[in-house]
Structure 1
Amino acid sequence: MKLSFEEIKRKLLLGENVNLECKEAESTIPKSVYESYSAFANTSGGDIVLGVKENKKETNPEKRFIIQGISNPTKQIEDFWNTLNGNKVNANILIDDDVYTVSADGVVLIIIHVPRASYNLKPVYIGENPYKGTFKRNNEGDYHATEHEVRAMIRDQNPNGNDSAILEHYNMDDIDITTLSSYRQMFKVTNPEHVWNSYDDKEFLRMLGGYAKDRMTGVEGLTVAGLLMFGKGLPIREKFDNILMDYRDESGLSGDMRWSDRLTYDGTWENNLFNFFTIVARKLTSDLKKPFRLENETRIDDTAVHKAVREGFVNLIIHSDYMMDAGVLKVIKKEDGFEFTNPGVLKLPKEEIYLGGNSKARNPKMQTMLRMVGFGDNAGSGFPAILKAWSNNGWVTPELVENTVLNQVCLSLTFEKAAIKNGDKKTAIKNGEKKTAKKSEVHIKNIIEFLSTVGEASTAEIAEKIGLKPSRTREILSTLDDVEAIGSNKDRKYILKSK
């Protein structure tokens, strides 16, 4: 969706951010445009507005950004395309409609919309050296990507994922037999007639993708998936000393307690991923409600919520980047829900993940290992299953937050009830949500004031202004009779209704 002149003016009141960059460019294309192009492509996309001067000493947004316009838009656009299609950058990810002009009262601006680059095209960089010419974006502007960030982008290009690489000199001696036996027992219960049940441990692992041989070189050994899922703690820490596993129960705390239960490496357990998953999954679901239900005269204790929580945990494991310079697989149980944080940014845009039907796990072998014993849905259906379970219980939509600076993703699942239609305060109080109702009143007031100032804004812009997560902001917006949504889901904005 193209921006209008008025929309740009309203955005400037919010200032530059991770998705908006302004440049003066009165008569020529600034060289820094290509840095912003690289940064937006490698982060989450954004718009470059040419024809706006910034006074960095001015703190008032209305005075900080001065719309000056472009004197020769046709020539600048032609120069931009010629440069982009030359050897200035390694990839042109734009289409014709991504570069356009808007005008008002004789003032012309050039807009360059840069989409988020597909994972198989990153890094998008300037010049010939990705380690020198790759940029990323934060709220402060463009910055040089670190070597580790560039390596992560290059790793993610691999269509086979990151966990099938053979680890030379790591063999069956590095497998924790107790862990593997536990997995095999679970596999046998789930797949009683499967031929793999008759194989020895090495062949069984080979079939799962946990052990492999390079036919070209003759090198064989455990794969990344095999060692991390079933390995002994010591060889895992030797090979992956950059990765930590951490579970904390932060529910039911009193006084100055920071957690009531914790699982991290302490020498009492073999810290492989399968152990971490099975131990922690039980802790996460132990307090969830289990309504009485019989199936074929057998009580079924599993619910859609149980499965959704485990699915969130599975996603953490299969989407983690275990090759990063540092990272923590963090699982937190809170009074009002759960948080799953994994190292590595999203490979797909959030919109595609919420929609489902497509999956690009960094660790497809691990995904198979977990799916074969009943954990994790078919490719692309897991996240929609989480959304459905939470929606059916009337809870706030699960929030997937990507931090492209820390290079991590956090999934928040909360038991907070979704906002009540028409702001029914009496019902909220009746449900024991008096505090929530009062907080919502403050947020509603701030939303109305903000929209009165800027005219229209997206969920993300409103959320940033009032200090809430986009999911919670979206829930509140849906209750407001004085606010209406315009545009499609992807480009939806909110405005005040005409009196």
Structure 2
Amino acid sequence: MLVLEEMDMDVFNKESVRSYRQRMRLSRPGHVWEALEDEDFLLKLGAVGIGSDGKKHPTSAGLLMFGNEYDIVREFNTYFLDYQEQYDADTRWTDRIISSSGDWSGNVYDFYFRVYNKLIQDIKVPFKMEGGARVDDTSVHQALREALANCLVNADYYGRQGLVIIKKRDTITMSNPGSFRIEIDAAKSGGVSDPRNGTMLKMFNLIDIGERAGSGIPNIFRVWREQGWVMPTFTEQLEPERTILSLTFEKIGDKKSAIKTSDKKSAINAKMKETIMAYLTDHAEAKASPIAEYIGLKPSRTRDYLNELIAEGIVVAEGGNRNRSYKLKS
């Protein structure tokens, strides 16, 4: 946990801290930290640490969660949070929230709730009835909370480019700087968790958001499977490193889908996959670059095909991002 000794306690947005404490009281009534003063509460939470000077200073996690944007960028120079609604093809966006606007704190905590409330608007999920009462908080809403928290706590805020969430009529994409710290297949399987910002995840956990035990991502896939929607996809990019989660709200095979794949395109995709499989048949294992050169595509597009083959259980990936290799599943 990095203690930012050049900063003092004034970097915290008081309204963000007040809001968080109120949410925690509702989630965990009677918690032992409830009676603490703000500074001592933030110390227990991991938002504050004791520096070498013996004084209290914000931690990197505390600054990101509860700081003001103009102080956050002093430590994280490329920090930028961006939410866009793109409903109209004739305009770049129809609604937008950015951390640098200056009319709100710009921190991760406030961004989460501003964006989550936008994400759940007009989601095509029927409500449930329990004991004669309408229940609007469905498994889809829970999965969206997991996806948003996962994006925010796994972002590399020292990395290049910002965090971008785009909502269209039938899709949501969440893109954060930084690569997966574990294999994507392991993340999908569950039981393995290695968040980049563990203290931030703890902060979300205490207000009942996010899963520490590695069940968040499997839960997202389970919910989409239960809904019969096109399965989510994770894509990793290099230079700069980014992780992109794509969520589609359309039934598999739905001809009314806003995202249609023509028969010709499907045939091309199938041919590309067959060519990759043929290459891996002749080569015990290979990285994305030589495969891309062989099939005549860019490495990023080739990795998309490889990720699809992994999801289909045909190919497995081994090694870290820069040394990742692929081979046919035995």
In which range does the TM-score fall when normalised by the shorter chain?
0.7 to 0.9
Provide, for residues 90-115 of structure 1, a one-character-per-residue CA deviation record: whole Å limited to 9, x for no partner.
xxxxxxxxxxxxxxxxxxxxxxxxxx
| Mapped partners of 1:236, 1:413: distance in 2 | 29
Q: Is the 1:340–1:412 Cα contact (8 Å) retained in structure 2?
A: yes
Structure 2 residue aligned with 1:444, among 267, 272, 278? 267
Assess, with a 3 A threshold, how the Cα gap between structure 1 residues 294 and 443 changes in structure 2: closer, same or farther.
closer
Residue 180 (structure 2) pairs with residue 346 (structure 1): yes
Q: Which residue does the alignment assign to 2:196?
A: 362
Assess, with a 3 A threshold, how the Cα gap between structure 1 residues 220 and 487 changes in structure 2: closer, same or farther.
closer
Letter in 1 for 2:224: W
Worse-matched range after superposition: 369-378 or 217-226: 217-226
> Sequence identity of aligned pairs in percent?
32
Q: Is the 1:390–1:396 Cα contact (8 Å) retained in structure 2?
A: yes
| Mapped partners of 1:282, 1:454: distance in 2 | 43
Structure 2: gaps spanning 5 or more residues: 282-287, 318-325
Provide, for residues 152-204 of structure 1, a one-character-per-residue CA deviation record: whole Å limited to 9, x for no partner.
xxxxxxxxxxxx21111423222111111111111111111212111111111
Provide, for residues 216-246 of structure 1, a one-character-per-residue CA deviation record: whole Å limited to 9, x for no partner.
6524311111111111232223232321111
Cα RMSD, aligned residues only? 3.2
Q: Is the 2:273–2:309 Cα contact (8 Å) retained in structure 1?
A: no
SS at match of 1:218: coil
Q: Which residue does the alignment assign to 1:55?
A: none
Q: Which residue does the alignment assign to 2:23?
A: 186
Alpha-carbon offset, residue 303 of structure 1: 1.3
Specify which structure has the bigger relative contact order, considering alpha-carbon pairs within 8 angstroms and separated by 6 or more residues: 2
Residue 137 (structure 2) pairs with residue 302 (structure 1): yes
Provide, for residues 333-379 of structure 1, a one-character-per-residue CA deviation record: whole Å limited to 9, x for no partner.
12221111111122111121111111111111100111111111232
Provide, for residues 401-426 of structure 1, a one-character-per-residue CA deviation record: whole Å limited to 9, x for no partner.
111221111111112433x5xxxxxx
Paired residues for 1:168-207 under 5 Å: 168-207=5-44
Assess, with a 3 A threshold, how the Cα gap between structure 1 residues 395 and 457 changes in structure 2: closer, same or farther.
farther
Q: Which residue does the alignment assign to 2:101?
A: 266
| Mapped partners of 2:329, 2:10: distance in 1 | 58
Q: Is the 1:457–1:493 Cα contact (8 Å) retained in structure 2?
A: no
| Mapped partners of 1:450, 1:366: distance in 2 | 39
Assess, with a 3 A threshold, how the Cα gap between structure 1 residues 441 and 433 changes in structure 2: closer, same or farther.
farther
Assess, with a 3 A threshold, how the Cα gap between structure 1 residues 471 and 278 changes in structure 2: closer, same or farther.
farther
Q: Is the 1:166–1:212 Cα contact (8 Å) retained in structure 2?
A: yes
| Mapped partners of 1:247, 1:229: distance in 2 | 17
Q: Is the 2:306–2:315 Cα contact (8 Å) retained in structure 1?
A: no
Letter in 2 for 1:301: D
Assess, with a 3 A threshold, how the Cα gap between structure 1 residues 474 and 392 changes in structure 2: closer, same or farther.
farther
- Give the structure-1-normalised TM-score: 0.55
Assess, with a 3 A threshold, how the Cα gap between structure 1 residues 446 and 359 changes in structure 2: closer, same or farther.
closer
| Mapped partners of 1:454, 1:343: distance in 2 | 30
Residue 256 (structure 2) pairs with residue 432 (structure 1): yes
Letter in 2 for 1:228: L
Assess, with a 3 A threshold, how the Cα gap between structure 1 residues 205 and 433 changes in structure 2: closer, same or farther.
closer
| Mapped partners of 1:223, 1:453: distance in 2 | 46
| Mapped partners of 1:236, 1:453: distance in 2 | 44
Alpha-carbon offset, residue 210 of structure 1: 0.5
| Mapped partners of 2:47, 2:273: distance in 1 | 54
Paired residues for 1:24-63 under 5 Å: none
Q: Is the 2:201–2:212 Cα contact (8 Å) retained in structure 1?
A: no
- Give the structure-2-normalised TM-score: 0.81
Q: Which residue does the alignment assign to 1:313?
A: 148
Q: Which residue does the alignment assign to 2:4?
A: 167
Structure 1 residue aligned with 2:110, among 275, 278, 281? 275
Alpha-carbon offset, residue 389 of structure 1: 0.9
Q: Which residue does the alignment assign to 1:146?
A: none
SS at match of 2:34: helix
| Mapped partners of 2:272, 2:230: distance in 1 | 24
Q: Which residue does the alignment assign to 2:221?
A: 387
Letter in 1 for 2:83: Y
| Mapped partners of 1:182, 1:405: distance in 2 | 37
SS at match of 1:243: coil
| Mapped partners of 1:262, 1:395: distance in 2 | 26
Q: Which residue does the alignment assign to 1:289?
A: 124
Alpha-carbon offset, residue 471 of structure 1: 8.5
Q: Is the 1:398–1:471 Cα contact (8 Å) retained in structure 2?
A: no
Structure 1: gaps spanning 5 or more residues: 1-163, 421-427, 479-484, 495-499
Paired residues for 1:141-152 under 5 Å: none
Provide, for residues 70-97 of structure 1, a one-character-per-residue CA deviation record: whole Å limited to 9, x for no partner.
xxxxxxxxxxxxxxxxxxxxxxxxxxxx
Q: Which residue does the alignment assign to 2:60?
A: 224
Q: Is the 2:280–2:327 Cα contact (8 Å) retained in structure 1?
A: no
SS at match of 1:246: strand
Paired residues for 1:247-266 under 5 Å: 247-250=83-86, 252-255=87-90, 257-264=91-98, 265-266=100-101
Letter in 2 for 1:277: Y
Q: Is the 1:397–1:471 Cα contact (8 Å) retained in structure 2?
A: no
Letter in 2 for 1:231: G
Assess, with a 3 A threshold, how the Cα gap between structure 1 residues 173 and 436 changes in structure 2: closer, same or farther.
closer
Assess, with a 3 A threshold, how the Cα gap between structure 1 residues 297 and 195 changes in structure 2: closer, same or farther.
farther
Q: Which residue does the alignment assign to 2:322?
A: none
| Mapped partners of 2:272, 2:155: distance in 1 | 41
